[in-house]
Amino acid sequence: MLNSRNRKIAATTGACALSLALAVPASASADATAQQDGKASVSVFHGVPGLTVDVYANGDELLPDFKPGTLTEPQPLDPGTYDIEIFANGEGPDGDPAIQKSVDVPAGANATLAAHLDAKGTPTLTAFVNDTSEVPAGQSRLTVRHVAAAPAVDVRAGGKPVIEGLTNPNEKSLEVPAGTVNADVVLAGTDTVAIGPVDLDLAEGAHTVVYAWGSAKDDNLALKTQTISGMASAPNGVNAGESGAMASDNESATVWLAWGAAGAVAVAGLLAARRRRSRSG
C-alpha cells in the first residue's frame, strides 16, 4: 500500500502524461549490436528513494519489484513510441501510476531512462542519450547527471571543481585522463559536501556516467555509476621500450613464432624420413 506521501505523489504525477523524445546527437554513434538489428539499446535507472515499483511499457509489465538505486543492463528495444507507467509495487496496472510518460525511442539510440525526483521532490522520468562516440587514446569520458531533489551542485575531483552549477535534471560531460579519481559533490559555490567522497575508476576508452540521486531534505543523497565501454581510439604510436602491454604482446608473438618454427622443422623432418623409407622400400 502507498503511504500518504506516496499517494499524494501518485495523484500529482499520474494526472498528466508527457511526451519524451530520445534524439540521437550527431556526435553519438549507435551501439554496434543494436545498430545492426535496427534496435535501440536502453537501460533503466530507478532513482526514487523509498519506493519499490513495477514498470510497465505499453500495458505490459517490464520490470517487477524494481528497487531504488537499481540500474538495469542495457537491453535491445524495437524503435517506436512507448507509454511508460511506473506504479508502486503491486498497484499496477489498474491503479494510479506514480509516473506516466510517453517515450519515443529511435533506432540505434543508446539511452538510459531515469525515474527520479525533480528539484522539488516530485517523481519524474528523464531520458538521457549516452554519448558513444570515440574517446581519444589515454582518455576517459565522464558525465555527471543531477537527478536528485537538491539545489545546484559542483563536482570536485581531488578537491578541485571540474563541473560547476549543475542543476536537476541536467548533465555535463568532460574528457579526462584515464585512472582513479577521488570525487565528491558539494553545494554549488561552497565546500559543503553533499555526497562522497568516492573513488571513480575511469577506464580508458570508456564512458562513466554518475547519477547524483535521492533527496537532500530526507538526507539520502547517493551516487550510482554506469559504465559504457568499447569507445577507445587507436593510439597514434607506441614506444615498445616503455609499454608493458607491448612487451607482453611481443613475448606472446615470440612464443608463437618459436612454435611455428619448431613445427616447420618437425614437418620437414617427417617428410624427409618418409622419402628415405620410400627409397629403401
207-215 and 99-105: which strand pairing? unpaired
Q: Averaging pLDDT over each range in 26-30, 95-99, 169-173, 245-249, which range is the top one?
A: 169-173
Distance CA 279, CA 116 (A): 85
Say which DSSP state 234 is in. P
The per-residue pLDDT for 269 is 41
Which tens digits make up the pLDDT trace of 185-236? 999 999 999 999 999 999 999 999 999 999 999 999 999 999 999 998 766 4
The per-residue pLDDT for 234 is 66
**CB 173 within 8 Å of CB 206:** no
The per-residue pLDDT for 36 is 58
The per-residue pLDDT for 159 is 93
Closest CA to 112 of 170, 46, 27: 46
Q: Residue 263, CB half-sphere, CA atoms under 13 Å: how many? A: 6
Q: Is the pLDDT of residue 271 over 70?
A: no
The per-residue pLDDT for 235 is 61
Q: Is the pLDDT of residue 3 over 50?
A: no
The per-residue pLDDT for 233 is 78
Continuous H helices in the chain: 4-13, 32-37, 244-280
Which tens digits make up the pLDDT trace of 27-65? 344 455 555 578 999 999 999 999 999 999 999 999 999
Distance CA 255, CA 140 (A): 33
Closest CA to 90 of 7, 1, 3, 10: 1
- Which strands, in side-by-side order, build the sheet including 207-215? 171-177, 139-149, 207-215, 222-228
236 vs 169, higher pLDDT = 169
**CB 217 within 8 Å of CB 121:** yes
**Which CA distances in Å does 148 have to 3, 98, 173?**
21, 17, 18
**CB 34 within 8 Å of CB 15:** no
Residues 6+ apart with CB under 8 A from 26: none
Per the document, the length of the chain is 281
Residues 6+ apart with CB under 8 A from 217: 121, 149
| pLDDT confidence bin for 80, thresholds 50/70/90 | very high
**CB 93 within 8 Å of CB 83:** no
Which tens digits make up the pLDDT trace of 96-152? 999 999 999 889 999 999 999 999 999 999 999 999 999 999 999 999 999 999 999
What is the mean predicted confidence (pLDDT) over 87-93? 93
